[in-house]
Each structure stands twice: as structure tokens, then as C-alpha cells.
Amino acid sequence: MIRVGIVGGSGYTAGELIRLLLNHPDTTIEFVFSTSKAGEAITAVHKDLIGETDLTFCSRITPSVDVLFLCTGHGNSTEVLKQHTISEQTKIIDLSRDFRLSGQNRFGHRSFIYGLPELNKEAIKEGENIANPGCFATVIQLALLPLAHDSALTNDVHIHGITGATGAGSSLSDTTHFSWRANNVSVYKGLNHQHISEIQQSLNQLYSSFGNKLNFVPVRGNFSRGIFISAYTNYEGNLAEAQSLFTEFFKESPFVYHSHQSIYLKQVVNTNKCLLHLEKENGQLLITAAIDNLLKGASGQALQNMNLMFGLEEDAGLHLKPTHF
């Protein structure tokens, strides 16, 4: 069994990760570390796990687990590694953005691989440390990487994306209260979202000369979870050629599905899937894509990376039914 530790165990992504690990055939949770909840039952915070576990949050990190998941806030993973001794044999999967960008992907002797399996699967299999991608970054990259791989991304890209309230984390703020979110939408970080840099980095990995603009407008949605994006750009080929391109690129990706029918958000909520749909109109290719921000956009992808790192089936523990109704 793979011995697992979790740091930062009280947030939404940690709750989903705990749920997945409890039902994974090859893992056992050694500890869930939380500075604010130490001594409390995990089910006191993650109430959906009542009857699933008797674990309590702890105040001490066991340094020698097989894999350590860092579910801390952005900027805090570096502090955890500074303040706690972690065995050199322990693999690390970081869900923050601390180590995602080249030039920022090292801590001491550790070097972090960008953990998008559909882009870096072979490197992840050999990796010791993984920087899990951001949620918006994941779905936007999956929508654009086939075009970059074919050197067909030759113009600016326009992207509109809407995300559920869980994307803002479990801490309350003015824009996460029900009275604000209900029957409401709003733009935030328009054209300046923090995930643009990692998207650009991955596109350049496949298509080094891509230097066009990624015009991304993120929107807060009035629902709990999920991301739905629409991206469009000029495309010289026809629709059939684009569809063939996407099908070929993702032929060995067990969670990415190219649909010939229009897609909608409920198809992916509570799953590790990404659904994609293509349309061609007036010289432009429109790509719509959807994921669950807490699973394929965070904890599900982290578990997918763990499976690859330990030589397991990539989809182990991730056969999940969507919350469709």
C-alpha cells in the first residue's frame, strides 16, 4: 500500500482528495495535517465523509510517507518545505502554484515537473515531485494543446470561462456568500488571471514560436463546482481536420473525451473527465470544454499524477459517476 500524507487538510480540495484516497485500492492515509483543526475529527469538517473514516487532523507531519500532498494556499507550500523535514524518499505533489513555472520549479534538491498528464505523462512517471496545474489552466490547455502540437495556433486566442464558487476556496469573502452568488455573475481578474503564464508555458513547450495573446476573461458563476470555457481562434483547416487532430492528440488520455455533440457542465461534475466539443464558423474554430474544478482541476488530477508516479493504472480510484441530476 502507498502511505499518504496530506498537509492543509481542511479545504475543499483536501476534502475531495481524502474522499478519493479512502476509496483508492492502493493507498492508506497516514496523516492529515492541519494547524487550525488539529485534534478534531476529519468528519467534523468534511461532513460528507461521515461513516467513511475515523481519522483526526494532526499537528505533526510524518516525514517518511511514500507521497505527500500539499493542499496549502498559494505561497504556503514553500513555507511548509522550509519549516518541516521531509524524507528525500518521499514524493511530493503540490496543489498550489508555487512550483508550476520554469525558473520557479525548484526547492533545494527537489525539481518539480508540471503535472498535466496529457502533456508530460512520461516525465511524470519518472518524477519525484509534481506541481499540479491550476483548474482554469488545466481546461484551457486541454482545449488548445492539440492546436499547438500541430503548429496551428497562429493567431490570438479569445477565452471566456465560468467557474463555480468552490474555485474561490472554503474561506468566506464578500463574493462567496450565498446572498451575493445567488442569481449573479461577475468578471474577476479580466485579461490578467494568474493561470495565463502556465498556459503560455505549456503552449510554448509544444509550439515554441507561439507568442500571440491569450485573451482570457474569467467569470464567477452562481453554482458550486465546475468550469466551462469557450475558446475561439482563427483556423485554416476544416472542422473534420480539427476533430481528427483532437482525437489523435488525446488517444492515450483516459479522461479527455472529444464529443461530436454539444457538451454541458453536469456531464463532468464529480468526475475527473474533461469534455471537448468543436465547431467551425466563418474561419474560426470554437472549442468548448468542461471539467470539475475540484477533481480534474485539482484533487482528481493530483491522484492521477500519483497513479502515474507509482506505476499504477492511470485511472485507478477515479471511476466516478457525474452528478447529472
Helices 135-149 and 196-206 meet at what angle, rounded to 10?
Answer: 20
58, 71, 135, 274: which is the annotated catalytic residue? 135
- Answer whether 2-133+296-309 and 135-293 agree in fold: no
> Going by CATH, does the domain composed of 135-293 fall within 3.30.360.10?
yes
Residue 5 has pLDDT above 80, yes or no: yes
What is the DSSP code (8-state) at residue 181? H
Residue 170 reports pLDDT greater than 80: no
Question: Higher confidence at residue 323 or residue 249?
Answer: 249
At residue 180, the pLDDT reads: 82
Which of 198, 195, 249 is closest to 227 using CA atoms?
195
Average pLDDT over residues 154-159: 97
Q: Would the pLDDT of 169 be above 80?
A: no
Q: What is the pLDDT of residue 172?
A: 67
| H or E segment to which residue 95 belongs | none
Per-position b or e across 131-166, b if 16+ CB within 10 A of its CB: bbbbbbbbbbbbbbbbbbbbebbebebbbbbbbbbb
pLDDT at 3: 98
How many other CB atoms are found less than 10 A from the CB of residue 186? Answer: 12
DSSP state for residue 250 in the 8-state scheme:
T
Average model confidence (pLDDT) across the chain = 95
Instruction: Tell me what pLDDT residue 74 has.
Output: 84
pLDDT in tens, 173-196: 778 778 888 899 999 989 898 999
42 compared with 173, residue with greater pLDDT: 42
- Confidence bin at 167 (pLDDT 50/70/90): confident
Given this model, what pLDDT does residue 198 score? 97
Q: Provide CATH code, domain 2-133+296-309.
A: 3.40.50.720
Q: What percent of the chain has pLDDT over 70?
A: 98
Report whether pLDDT(208) > 90: yes
Q: What pLDDT does 117 receive?
A: 98
Give yes or no: 135 in active site. yes
Q: What is the pLDDT of residue 86?
A: 96
Rounded CA-CA distance 40/24 in Å is 24
Amino acid 144: pLDDT: 98
Express each pLDDT in 211-234 by its tens digit.
999 999 999 999 999 999 999 999
Q: Over the range 225-252, which residues count as b (16 or more CB within 10 Å of their CB) and which as e? A: bbbbbbbbbebeeeeeebbebbeebbee
C-alpha cell recorded at residue 145: 494543446
Read off the pLDDT of each residue in 281-305 and give the average, rounded to a whole number. Answer: 98
For 56-107, write each residue's pLDDT tens digit. 999 999 999 999 999 998 889 999 999 999 999 999 999 999 999 999 999 9
Structural domain spans, the chain:
2-133+296-309, 135-293
